[in-house]
Structure 1
Amino acid sequence: MPPSGRIVRIRLLQFPPGPGVELFQTEHASHEPPERIADYGLQHLALYTDDIQAAAKRLEMAGGTLLSGPHPLAGIDSGQGNCGLYARTPWGMLIELIAYPAGIQ
């Protein structure tokens, strides 16, 4: 953290028995533009949802911006009703919402 910055809020999410996620809200620190889908490194977070329409609505209500509507998934992710969409968080991070009602191969 640069000397001018500070952490305002921390939220720790646990997904038993899987991963944990740490979310930080900071202020008074300089920021770089968020990564794009074709850049090296972590450039987006994909989140599974059982109801992509409801998740997209909640994302927008929280200040996110939808970049597309739900689109069919391809390859091993394809299947009846399997879909995804991309959005930006209020701070610019790329988020992908995905749904697999038909499962994946």
Structure 2
Amino acid sequence: IYQSFGPQDTPRQGPELERAVGAFPGTVVRAQAMVKIGTGPDIELFEMHGPEQAQPVRASDFGITHFGVYTDDIDASVERFEKAGGTSLTAPRAIPYATEKGPGNKVCYCRMPWGTTIEFITTPDRMAYHDQTDLRRWQDED
């Protein structure tokens, strides 16, 4: 659907990024893109490089690297997640990418008790990428 940033842009790195997404110190994010798969949920892809970077998980391994869940009420969702034993890496915060910014658009990365990272996201407001394409991120219409 769109690329938030790529090799031509300044890489994302530093303590704030590491804390916000739970990355190993020294991690550098070189690119991020949103991919549309049919009419269902979208897949967000990152190109990350860092010290002590492990091999990608295999289908037979436990867990996944991270997945995102859309919510209409991110604050309530994160609160319920924490009450169930999860840990938020930051409070819900404004989405930092110019293509996704909007007054109420927020994201919060959290960690499950066993280590899997989950991203809670809400995008109730128009995003800048809407000016670039007619394709839209999936959002439940119920």
Task: Specify if TM > 0.5.
Answer: yes
Tell me, which stretches of 5 or more residues in structure 2 are unaligned?
Answer: 1-38, 42-46, 58-63, 130-142
1:63-95 deviation line (CA, Å, top 9, x unaligned): 100110111112211111101011101111011
Partners of 2:77 and 2:105 in 1: CA distance: 15
Identify which of 87, 96, 101 aligns with 1:78. 101
Q: Does 1:55 align with 2:77?
A: yes
Q: TM-score normalized by structure 1?
A: 0.59
Answer 1 or 2: which has greater strand percent.
1
Partners of 2:71 and 2:40 in 1: CA distance: 16
Q: TM-score normalized by structure 2?
A: 0.45
Aligned-residue identity in percent: 40
Tell me, which stretches of 5 or more residues in structure 1 are unaligned?
Answer: 1-16, 20-36
Partners of 1:93 and 1:43 in 2: CA distance: 6
Partners of 1:44 and 1:103 in 2: CA distance: 25
Q: Which AA in structure 1 matches 2:117?
A: L
Identify which of 65, 88, 93 aligns with 1:66. 88
* SS in structure 1 of the partner of residue 76 of structure 2: helix
Q: Which AA in structure 1 matches 2:122?
A: A
Root-mean-square deviation (CA, aligned residues, Å) is: 2.3
CA shift, 1:18, in A, is 4.1
* SS in structure 1 of the partner of residue 99 of structure 2: helix
1:1-105 maps to which residues of 2 (within 5 A)?
Answer: 18=40, 38=48, 40=56, 42-73=64-95, 74-104=97-127, 105=129
